[in-house]
Chains A and B, each alone.
Chain A
């Protein structure tokens, strides 16, 4: 009896003394709320590779990607600046906050592409218990090239011949405000390949990372390891190093990469120049995000 009474006394006394402002807060402090981690990467692309990021709700992203010619084309070609450029223009949109789509056109190989990207899981802060973000990606590419002759025969006989596809699973984590890392598993399928011995499928394991060194600037690195032998031609793994600069609504990405292609089927599978002999190029992406959301209603 005494013990019980004493316990009641202690607990009620504790409640009574808990009256300083700090105690006041602690008395009603609720569990940390589940919050999603934002901005694992600055934009939906790192250099060439897609990141786990999906545009935020009602955002329209206008992107310009540009790759110059090879460094090893020499002084006469201003180390690639003069020519052999590849340009992709695209419009990408997200209405909710998980599913986005994009349409693009690339000058090299005259490719029109369309993609869907779905944010399956979002990394949460400590209270939420989800350590990673997972994003799915699926795309289709159509080349408009005419009169491509193989042994005197037109390569593209029908529309399916012109198509290729890419599917990806991306698993990324923002370790802290500076460092983010992502693993990518990609599969590229090309409907029509050049040589009879070539395979139609290519599997890629990719890694993508970002290190932010100021609030608005970051260094980025991406690498795509091709897992199967799909051609007798000499192709290389895509590797890029970049610098991100964010200025309000724009993100500028300047980088060096050995990939000339700007679409997944090209840079994963058909990167035909190597870092070893300066088969790299200067490139930049510009992303301009327009917010189509009106004002807060209240």
Chain B
């Protein structure tokens, strides 16, 4: 009996220790600057998950939640390029390499090592950014590039002047402690 109680106490305390954070204001923007047309889209509904104890950071963004300024571009993005019916999500799984004391306010430059999957192609990526902590809110900012060809997204040569080879992704999220 005592043993069990001890285990319970241990498990509960360990559980309490690994508080998970969830994205509250998350914004993923991508931008492609090409000769004829600039393409930009924004996704504000995704909620990343972060475990400060292990540094694990995961985000699963629904492709159809990216909103383009032109509805036609949005249709083409989903139907012709990203094929969101076949590959509905872009997923990043990474680990923050630095050891940070998340209980103190401050700003840190961080490196995340992990994998980025989009259009069904998973690639190892190292992404840099900043983490800032203020009043128990963890914010993460990052900017990185995705090469269209790396993810086997085919752009017909006819549209090469409309779509850049490299897409710039800007990422911001505020994360708060997750409560069930």
Contact = CB atoms under 8 A, between A and B. Distances in A.
A28 interface: yes
Nearest to A58: B71
Nearest to B8: A9
Contacts, number: 113
Contacts of B47: 28, 30
B69 interface: yes
Interface string B1-12: 100110110011
Interface of A: 2, 5-6, 8-9, 12-13, 15-16, 19-22, 24-25, 27-28, 30, 33, 35, 38-39, 56-59, 97, 176-177, 215-216, 247-249, 289, 291, 293-296, 298
Main secondary structure of the interface of B (DSSP, over half): mixed
B69 A215 contact: no
B87 to A, nearest CB: 12
A235 to B, nearest CB: 37
Task: Please indicate which of the listed interface residues B5, B40, B42, B80 has the most CB atoms of chain A within 10 Å of its own CB.
Answer: B80
Interface of B: 1, 4-5, 7-8, 11-12, 14-15, 18, 20, 22, 27, 29, 38, 40-42, 45, 47, 49, 51, 53-54, 56, 58, 60, 62, 64-65, 67-76, 78-80, 83, 85-86, 93, 114, 158-159, 162, 178
A6 B11 CA distance: 11
B75 A56 contact: yes
Contact of A291 (B29, B58, B71, B178): B71
Contacts of B71: 56-59, 97, 291, 293
Contacts of B53: 19
